[in-house]
Structure 1
Amino acid sequence: MILIPSTESRPDERTRCFEFLRHHLDASEGLRLDRYERNGHQSLVVRPVDCESPEVLLCGHLDVIEHSERDGYHSHVENGRIYGPGSGDMKGQIAIMVELMKSLHRRHPGASVGLAITSDEERGGADGVRFLIEDVGLRCGVAIIPDGGSLCDITVEEKGVIHARITQTGREGHGARPWLGENAIERLLIRLSRLGNHFATYWPSEPIEEQVNHWFPTCSITICETENTTVNRIPSRASAVVDIRFPPPHDVASMMAEVTDVLGPGCTVEPLMTAEPTHLAPDPLFRRATEEVTGQPVAMVRASGGSDGRFFRAHNIPVNLSRPFVGNLHSIDEWIDIESMVTYYRICKRYIASRLSLD
């Protein structure tokens, strides 16, 4: 799967990835494979033929982020790790879930276990998990999403998210006579600096350490652009995209009001994607299964990132969020640890057997 560049800009490759998965699943007797699509984003839901709402739903996404090296989608094994874009986020986990799904239904035909694979999580999940839950009506007793935490770190809370575009206008002018125009880029940079200074007040004075002092609002400028293509022309319009993360008691409305107030009048703020902070309510049985398999204590952690878990929680469905050991996520040399993949498989297998009272 790593060799398939299933990015947003390559819908044919996302389709090829789904076909690859279907070939591994459609030979399993007693399973029904349903294909869905919204706005060009496919989803695949696998469940027992007579089961609309499985008790346990394994859930993942096959989309990976774009890389500047368009031919960089290769993989190799080194020092017990699989390296390659998407290996840890989250094609390695999809491989685990597909094998787990096949194994469980070979040994326990009709077991109330399903699998949902989507292709737009990196863009917010609106056409994937949200569509499946809110429009298709997919439900389950509990969701397992191996897209956060770590092997013995189960995520219990996630920050809220705002992706927003800030647009600043100005007045065109010749680059040699800047006093005759109003440079939209320079005006935008002043506002972005103001925004950065504001969010800097939330940062602790000590070095930031995960699970110690990372639970505060942040703002990252991820894109700056202008339509101007002429070197000696002052641009009349410029924009930037920001990625804002925030814990309770902040919410989307309060953070949007805060950002708008800091930026001041004269520019526009357009939300592109928003999500409220989420409490995932993991099943205590999953923690017990993790401790039994690993022999290690389990930490309940809070995450700066987000996941598709928020869509399940909107319908009071508990979410178990942990994963094998991974690293360098969203980079060419992303990796997933092979031994921990086997351990995670065993954790999920033991949990499902306990939850469903399987032999």
Structure 2
Amino acid sequence: MDSTTTPIELDLTMDPADLTAALVDVESVSDHEGPLADAVETALRQLPHLEVHRDGDSIVARTNLGRDERVLLAGHLDTVPLPTVEGSLGTVPSVRRRESERDVIYGRGTTDMKGGVAVQLALANALTDPNRDITFVFYDHEEVASDASGLGRLMRNSPELLEADFAVLLEPTNGTVEGGCNGTMRFRITTAGKAAHSGRAWIGENAIHKQADVLARLAAYEPRTITVEGLDYREGLNAIRVGGGVAGNVIPDSAWVDINFRFAPDKTLQQAQDHVREVFKGYELDFQDLSPAARPGLDRPAAAQFVAAVGQEPMPKYGWTDVARFSEAGVPAVNFGPGDALLAHTDDEHVFDDAVRECYRALAEWLA
């Protein structure tokens, strides 16, 4: 089927695992989400219990039943580019197999995150009278630069559509609730010296040697583990790139080190910046990337009931995800979805059928 000219039809009554395979069969690499977004919009507009809105290649569908609480289920439609290695299974279209007495789906996006999107769509179809109002969000451009994010665009253009008491981002978590996420920032420290011929090094000042103190502070730094709402978030402060020097016979007059700080959701961005400024007191920090942390919101009644429905102890999210965008907008959020996050973007990306079904079961039990 030529998805650029022939409309794609999605059957939302399908088994969620089969629906996952159907979604994978529609290639939707970032910048090319249009055909899949069209299919999702068309399918959702056939459901009379939902109000549907579209912004670019992002779709929002909402119930409006006057319930006391509103929850939001979100997932992105795009994937990273297809594998370039011939014979890779993590590509398009999907491949179904039976392995170790379990059914498995291979294909780009099975884990990140069309399994989660299939669960969203199946729930949107099935939950005509949920116990809470539900907002379903399907957005574009997650796998690219954050300023292109479809979710970010929705928050700028129509923030009222994303208001909720609690949110679940269906990123892969192996079926375990991962609350909130660490924040992350990247900054550069540059040291200046004086250039000279290396044969007469005493005339110059070596800027690379001046980085020794910076690196010593990093080596001596003891990252903390901080408990937030019962979850232990591990922090980290690490050099990730270094540079300096112009030639093999020149004392360098400039050197730099890029540093990444992963910080727990007990801190605001400002507090995290103040902390690293204290660690590197005496140096100028050039901040190049700033992403806030997200509190898990597990103290909310809706979250407690959700954790009970899942039936597993929640875990912290150490990496950064779009739950931080929801948290920044005042909506506590967790990550919960089918599949192993370590398989995302790999050449053999896959998800087990029963993992998709179990994710669907937990959310349906919570919301039905």
TM over 0.5: yes
Aligned 1:24-103 pairs, distance under 5 A: 24-27=40-43, 28-29=45-46, 32-36=52-56, 44-47=58-61, 55-62=70-77, 75=90, 79=99, 80-83=103-106, 86-101=109-124, 103=125
In structure 2, what residue type is equivalent to 1:32?
V
| Contact 1:168/1:184 (8 A) holds in 2 | yes
Q: Following the alignment from structure 1 to structure 2, what is the Cα–Cα distance between the partners of residues 283 and 56?
A: 12
Change (3 A) 1:71 1:249: same
Match of 1:340 in 2: 355
Measure how far apart 1:131 and its partner are.
3.9
Deviation of 1:328 after TM superposition, in Å, equals 1.8
Aligned residues: 324
Alignment partner, residue 221 of structure 2: 198
Give CA deviations for 1:68-113 in whole Å, capped at 9, x if unaligned: x765885155634445665433333223324443x348x67xx854
Residues of 1 paired with 2:36 and 2:293: CA distance? 34
Q: What's the CA shift string for 1:128-183, capped at 9, x where partnerless? A: 434422443232334221126442x3234433332333334444455666555545
Rg larger for: 2
Any idea what the Cα deviations from partners look like across 1:17-47, whole Å, max 9, x if unmatched?
Answer: 34333234325425635124xxxxxx50232
Match for 2:59: what amino acid? V
2:263 to 233, 246, 249: 246
Specify the alignment match of 2:333 in structure 1: 319
Shift of 1:258: 2.9
CA distance in 1, matches of 2:38, 2:246: 45
Q: Which amino acid aligns with 1:219?
A: L
The answer on whether the counterparts of 2:180 and 2:293 sit within 8 Å (CA) in structure 1 is no
**Among candidates 134, 140, 143, match of residue 167 of structure 2:** 143
The 3 A distance-change label for structure 1 pair 20 and 178 is farther
CA distance in 2: counterparts of 1:186 and 1:90, whole angstroms: 46
Aligned equivalents of 2:236, 2:154: Cα separation in 1: 30
RMSD: 4.4
CA contact (8 A) 1:32 1:49 kept: no
> Percent identity over the alignment?
20
Equivalence map 1:177-196=2 (5 Å): 178-179=201-202, 181-188=204-211, 190-196=213-219
Contact 1:157 / 1:303 at 8 angstroms: preserved in 2?
A: yes
- Match of 1:16, SS state, is coil
Q: In 2, Cα distance between the equivalents of 1:194 and 1:65?
A: 37
1 CA distance for matches of 2:296 and 2:149? Answer: 22
SS at match of 2:337: coil
Preserved CA contact (<8 Å) 1:57 1:116: no
CA distance in 1, matches of 2:201, 2:105: 53
Cα gap change, 1:14 to 1:258, in 2 (>3 Å): same
Give the Cα separation in 2 of the matches to 1:25 and 1:312.
23
User: Partner of 2:33 in structure 1?
Assistant: 17
Question: Is 2:291 the counterpart of 1:274?
Answer: yes
Describe the shift of the 1:55–1:254 C-alpha distance in structure 2 as closer, same or farther (beyond 3 A): closer
Query: Is 1:219 aligned with 2:242?
Result: no
Distance 1:188 1:266 in 2: 11
What per-residue deviation string (whole Å, max 9, x for no partner) do you get for residues 280-317 of structure 1? 2476556656755x7xx331332222322233234443
8 Å CA contact retained: 2:195, 2:250:
yes
